[in-house]
Structure 1
């Protein structure tokens, strides 16, 4: 009797499973799903890299502070400033000129600021690749940065982006990475989006020496307070 009941229960579960329909079907094609999975994997990879970097910083500080605590603290602060984009740097990378299209110049059309959403889309597309350091029109782009439209003018870090032409610089970890970014941008569909706004993307070949400015804006410490000397 127990065996019969168990078999009946299993058949009922199987019947319900076969006849159960999801409330909503995912109607996206396979490539859209693959792209979303790739984006999620990229985000996970970047998070893991950040965790490894932080672990390395803590390990270096713990190892050095027993020998020279003051020097260890200075080196740690300098390293964090570099990662946050507060210092200038030079490395392999590429330069990209955002220019008015030849047709707009020939027709005498007014040269207007690049739309904020177009610039944001460009930066987000480039940032699919990890380890990139970006400067937009001499303004360092970091995790603290914001691209906004203020009174019809596109801004980065609250500073106006001048009307085209202007330069976007990208520094990569290796020269091989610069070549990957270069080839990726050459084939990017963003060229069509820029052309609709009477703009073109002129991508220079990779270089071993691209110099970026550091973040020059003041950072407000809203929730941090300095302790009086002698307090722990």
Structure 2
């Protein structure tokens, strides 16, 4: 009987000790908490919802194309297929595009030049930030100093020189062309860029960023260079 009581006390002591140890560990190593404020979380949620909405729009577009293929006869199917191929070529940069948009001009801040400040070409980090914001606010196609951006394009620092598509952007006078889906979206992008801090960011690098008003027709040339096909495999089956 006495041995049984000792065993029970031992088991209870072990459980109590284990609970204390777990509690102590929790106090010493609390679970990491999200310290962002509510507005930062709301902003991230808004961006994710916007991305989700774009994906749904793309799915709806592809579903509509499939329905058109199924409803049309063979001749019209060929016409629709060619149109889809041309749309994809434009998206990948293989064809020139035109439409509403706006033009940005980057140039040296002349008042700083007169005071002897050294003017360096735009840094890749600042250019990448600008491009990301343009895409975020409905920019469809972008051309930087004659270089068409595609989903395979890269903006890098190579030996201290900013490059786009492997071509050096070593001039301080740069023209950036942007095409949007509609003129209204071009005006929205203009308003956002004009109200943003980008002009101040460029001025800190001794550069001026001029944001021209939206235009109804802008031309962007096709991608001038080889496109990588490393991950494409030819399907030899069928005709």
Interval of TM-score (by shorter of Structure 1 and Structure 2): 0.7 to 0.9
Distance in structure 1 (CA, Å) of the matches to 2:67 and 2:170: 43
Deviation, structure 1 residue 147: 0.9
The answer to which of 29-38 and 52-61 deviates more is 52-61
Q: Over aligned residue pairs, what C-alpha RMSD do you find?
A: 2.4
Residue of structure 1 aligned with 2:188, choices 180, 191, 200: 180
Report the number of matched residues: 212
Note closer, same or farther for the CA distance 1:146–1:69 as it changes in structure 2 (3 Å cut). same
Distance in structure 1 (CA, Å) of the matches to 2:223 and 2:73: 28
Note closer, same or farther for the CA distance 1:56–1:152 as it changes in structure 2 (3 Å cut). farther
Distance in structure 1 (CA, Å) of the matches to 2:137 and 2:200: 21
Superposition pairs of residues 83-122 of structure 1, within 5 angstroms: 83-122=91-130
Q: Is the 8 A contact 2:156 2:164 kept in 1?
A: yes
Note closer, same or farther for the CA distance 1:224–1:27 as it changes in structure 2 (3 Å cut). closer
Residue in 1 that maps onto 2:83: 75
Does 1:193 find its partner at 2:201?
Answer: yes
Q: TM-score, normalization: structure 1?
A: 0.81
Q: TM-score, normalization: structure 2?
A: 0.79
Note closer, same or farther for the CA distance 1:65–1:73 as it changes in structure 2 (3 Å cut). farther
Distance in structure 2 (CA, Å) of the matches to 1:207 and 1:80: 24
Consecutive unaligned residues of structure 2, counting only runs of 5 or more, are 1-25
Deviation, structure 1 residue 201: 0.9
Render the CA deviation track for 1:121-170: whole Å, top value 9, x for unaligned: 11112222235321111111122211111111111111222412111111
Residue in 1 that maps onto 2:220: 212
Deviation, structure 1 residue 70: 4.5
Residue of structure 2 aligned with 1:166, choices 162, 166, 174: 174
Larger radius of gyration: 2
Q: Is the 8 A contact 2:120 2:205 kept in 1?
A: no
